[in-house]
C-alpha cells in the first residue's frame, strides 16, 4: 500500500508535468498567432510611408509587367513617372495587393480541369468548378476603374503625356477645425 508521502510525490510529479505541458502548448499557440496580434499594431500609415525598398521594387516590377503584359494603349499605359505622384502610388499599391490576393485565390482554387474536346460538348464535371470570381472581379472592379481614374483630371499624372509634370506645391488649406462640433 502507498504511503501518504508516495502519493504526495506522485501528485507533485503529475502537477509538474501538467505545468510543463501547458507552458509548451502556450508557446506553440503563441507561435501560430500573426505578429500583429502579439502586440500593439502599428499606427495606420500610407503605403509609401511604410514601404521598404524591396516593396518599392516589387511594385515597380509589377507596374512594368502590367504595362507590358496587358498591351495597354498609350491612353491607358501607366506613365514611368508614377512614383512621383503620391495618390497614384497609393492606388497602385492597393491594386497590386488586390491582384496578389486574386491571383493566389485563382491559383489555389484554379479553374475546373474539364475542357471540351474538339467538336464535342464540354465534359460534364463530376463536381462543381473550383475557383471564384476574384480574378475577373479584380479586372472589372480594380484595374479598369483605376486606369480610368488616373487618366481623368483627378490626378496630375494625366498631364504627363509627353513628359513628367511635377506635383504642385500648392497645398490645400487644412481642415477648419473650428467647425468640428465638440461634445460637452
Degrees (nearest 5) of the Cα angle 61, 63, 68?
Answer: 95
Instruction: Select the more confidently predicted residue: 53 or 105.
Output: 53
pLDDT mean over 16-38: 78
Q: Do both 57 and 146 map to the same domain?
A: yes
135 located within any domain: yes
- 26 has a pLDDT exceeding 70: yes
Q: Do both 92 and 152 map to the same domain?
A: yes
13 located within any domain: yes
pLDDT band at 58 (very low <50, low <70, confident <90, very high): very high
Q: Do both 106 and 29 map to the same domain?
A: no
DSSP code string of 19-81: HHHHHHHHHHHHHHS-GGGTSPPPPP--HHHH--HHHHHHHHHHHHHHHHHTT--TTTSPPTT
Cβ(157)–Cβ(150) below 8 Å: yes
Return the minimum-mean-pLDDT range out of 53-57, 119-123, 142-146: 119-123
Q: Do both 55 and 75 map to the same domain?
A: yes
Question: Residue 167 has which C-alpha cell?
Answer: 506635383
Return the minimum-mean-pLDDT range out of 69-73, 85-89, 93-97, 155-159: 155-159
Domain carrying residue 28 = 8-36
Q: What mean pLDDT, rounded, does the chain reach?
A: 81
Q: Do both 147 and 72 map to the same domain?
A: yes
Q: Could you report how far apart the first and last alpha carbons of the chain are, in Å?
A: 75
Q: What is the DSSP letter of 142?
A: I
169 located within any domain: no
32 located within any domain: yes
pLDDT mean over 13-32: 84
Q: Do both 52 and 25 map to the same domain?
A: no
18 located within any domain: yes
Q: Do both 144 and 85 map to the same domain?
A: yes
Q: Do both 24 and 94 map to the same domain?
A: no
139 located within any domain: yes
120 located within any domain: no
2 located within any domain: no
Instruction: Give the count of domains, the chain.
Output: 2
pLDDT digits (tens, 9 = 90+) for 76-116: 889 999 999 999 999 999 999 999 998 888 777 655 454 44
Q: Do both 93 and 149 map to the same domain?
A: yes
Q: Do both 85 and 144 map to the same domain?
A: yes
Side-chain-facing half-sphere of 141: CA atoms under 13 Å:
10
pLDDT band at 183 (very low <50, low <70, confident <90, very high): low
The whole-number pLDDT of residue 128 equals: 46
Q: Do both 107 and 19 map to the same domain?
A: no
The whole-number pLDDT of residue 127 equals: 46
Q: Do both 25 and 54 map to the same domain?
A: no
Q: How many CB atoms lie within 10 A of CB 83?
A: 14
Amino acid at each position: 500500500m502507498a504511503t501518504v508521502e508516495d502519493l504526495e510525490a506522485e501528485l507533485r510529479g503529475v502537477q509538474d508535468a501538467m505545468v510543463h505541458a501547458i507552458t509548451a502548448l502556450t508557446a506553440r499557440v503563441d507561435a501560430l498567432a500573426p505578429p500583429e496580434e502579439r502586440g500593439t499594431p502599428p499606427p495606420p500609415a500610407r503605403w509609401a510611408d511604410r514601404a521598404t525598398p524591396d516593396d518599392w521594387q516589387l511594385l515597380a516590377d509589377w507596374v512594368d509587367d502590367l504595362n507590358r503584359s496587358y498591351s495597354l494603349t498609350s491612353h491607358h499605359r501607366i506613365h514611368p513617372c508614377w512614383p512621383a505622384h503620391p495618390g497614384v502610388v497609393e492606388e497602385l499599391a492597393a491594386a497590386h495587393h488586390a491582384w496578389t490576393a486574386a491571383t493566389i485565390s485563382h491559383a489555389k482554387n484554379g479553374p475546373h480541369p474539364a475542357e471540351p474536346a474538339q467538336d464535342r460538348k464540354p465534359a460534364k464535371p463530376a463536381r462543381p468548378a473550383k475557383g471564384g470570381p476574384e480574378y475577373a472581379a479584380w479586372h472589372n472592379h480594380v484595374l479598369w476603374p483605376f486606369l480610368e481614374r488616373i487618366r481623368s483630371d483627378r490626378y496630375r499624372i494625366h498631364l504627363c503625356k509627353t513628359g513628367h509634370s511635377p506635383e504642385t506645391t500648392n497645398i490645400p488649406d487644412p481642415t477648419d477645425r473650428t467647425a468640428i462640433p465638440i461634445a460637452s
